[in-house]
Amino acid sequence: MNDSLFFRRMSKRSYQDKPIEPDVLNKLYEIIRWSPSCANKQPWRFIFISDPEQHAKAVSALAKGNEWAAQAPVIVVVCAREEDDYSREDNDIKYYQFDCGLATMSLLLGATELGLMAHPMAGWSAPDMQKALSIPDEYDVICVASLGYAGSIDLLDERTRTKDESERTRKEITEIINIDRFVK
């Protein structure tokens, strides 16, 4: 089980200086395309950025701690607009954002399946990203991810290497899974 896609996926920070082949990217687009969404609204827009000028603009909107992502050959920006939400009167869930989360997981697992590494990030400025990429105001930037072939940890600066060397941890199953009823 531990060699399955779910356990091989991880968010590391070093990338090889190697572009992603167009046929590999096409497979990833198809994987993302078949993500589930509420009422099949498919509200997501994924911008795959490898053009050097656009890439530099996207990188400029990343937070300081995410400078390592500049080495990734592709930056993926996930956006969606509320107009494409499937809203229900009996709950307040923002399904257009929730659906982007599901499709982003397709990106992460699809990348793993194709031998790539995708690393999701919250460390970026929404207004800066919006402006840098001329994303229309009605679209929210929901997630940004780096994408490429994983590289050697030796390529990283010391601070970033320490992050990549730190142990990956999780809560215990008993803390996150309840059987039959909510356990306080």
Ligand X SMILES: Cc1cc2nc3c(=O)[nH]c(=O)nc-3n(C[C@H](O)[C@H](O)[C@H](O)COP(=O)(O)O)c2cc1C
Please report, as ranges, the residues that interact with ligand X according to CB under 6 A: 10-11, 66, 120-123, 143, 168
Q: Which is nearer to ligand X, 173 or 183 (CB)?
A: 173
**How far, CA to CA in Å, does 60 sit from each of 13, 54, 106, 154, 183?**
17, 10, 26, 24, 44
Q: Closest separation between CB of residue 65 and ligand X, Å?
A: 6
CB 15, min distance to ligand X, A: 13
| Residue closer to ligand X (CB basis): 170 or 181 | 170
Nearest C-alpha neighbor of 83 from the set 95, 66, 100? 95
Using Cβ positions, the residue closest to ligand X within the complex turns out to be: 123
Q: Are 99 and 41 in contact (CB under 8 A)?
A: yes
| Shortest distance in whole angstroms from residue 70 CB to ligand X | 13
Using the minimum distance from each CB to ligand X, give the nearer residue, 120 or 125: 120
- For ligand X, give the closer residue by CB, 22 or 64: 64
**1-28 b/e (C-beta count within 10 Å ≥ 16 → b):** eeeeeeeebeebbbbeeeebeeeebeeb
Least distance from C-beta 46 to ligand X, angstroms? 15
Return phi, psi of residue 49, to 5°.
-115, 115
